[in-house]
Amino acid sequence: MPAPTFLCIGAQKGGTTWLARAVQQHPEVGTGKKKELHFFNHQDAFAKGLDWYEAQFRSNPRHRAVGEFTPNYWWTTGTPTTFNDLGSADRVADAYPDLRLIVCLRDPVDRAVSAYFHHMKAGRYPPSVSLLEATKAWPDIREFGCYGTQLDAWLNRFPLESFLFLVYEEEIRPDAAKAETLRRVFEHIGVDPSFTPKDTALRRNEQGSHFDIRLKHASTLAQHLMKRLPERARAWSHWDIKVSDADRQALAAEYVPEVARLEQLLERTMPWSS
């Protein structure tokens, strides 16, 4: 069974799905049987042991790199919850201290807003719950964006040269940057950097329309009436779910020292720093 040689550890809503789709096409790369194995952040999976984990990877003699993409690993320190075990950095380092690591980063406020809608679409709270209210029950919305705090925890166990950092706004979203980004990724994990994946257009995870989200949370009677609406009525701005400027600004203020610490560690100015 192959041991992993690299992990993409996050962050959520930072382009990891796009990256996984591209990397898994490389003939020298073996990936997990599913994109996110959640081995190091789910106790029930971790309890199955490393032999079980390594059995989850596709492998053949051509593979020079083996790895998976679980963005929840990035959230290694913060508020304990029942849905994510903290401490991934320690568990990863104890098991595989020589891994190559990939981190995708995005404007932390935009990332939090995307996560807010992700939880809403999943039915965890209705549109009446504000962004800041949602962070109280679902601290991942805020804490994934605490980039300085999370990176400090990972650097306690891995040297900086183990990491490749990709900034969504500069290296993943722009079409002109994708080829060079993938070349750097392939070089980082030790496979032929000249390979060109097919279909590298950025396909975002489907959030669902705001109408569909409201429909999910509506009463039975309201759902009955809403389902009878024509398509043009479903596109009305009336259904838009707003995130207040005040909530965005409050999060942005919280993230100022986190972004500053990230920039200090990476010696790089982020496109979304204040």
Domain boundaries of the chain, sorted by first residue: 6-107+142-205
What is the mean pLDDT of the segment spanning 219-246? Answer: 84
CA distances (Å), origin 249, targets 73, 110, 153: 27, 11, 26
What's CA 188's distance to the chain center, in Å? Answer: 19
Whole-model pTM over 0.95: no
Overall residue count recorded for the chain in this entry: 274
User: Binning pLDDT at 50, 70 and 90, where does residue 205 land?
Assistant: low
DSSP 8-state symbol, 172: I
User: Binning pLDDT at 50, 70 and 90, where does residue 147 land?
Assistant: very high
What is the mean pLDDT of the segment spanning 117-139? Answer: 95
- Please say if the pLDDT value at position 204 is more than 80: no
End-to-end CA, the chain: 47
Cis amide bond preceding 11, omega within 30: yes
What is the mean pLDDT of the segment spanning 259-271? Answer: 97
Fold of 6-107+142-205: Rossmann fold (3.40.50)
User: Binning pLDDT at 50, 70 and 90, where does residue 274 land?
Assistant: low
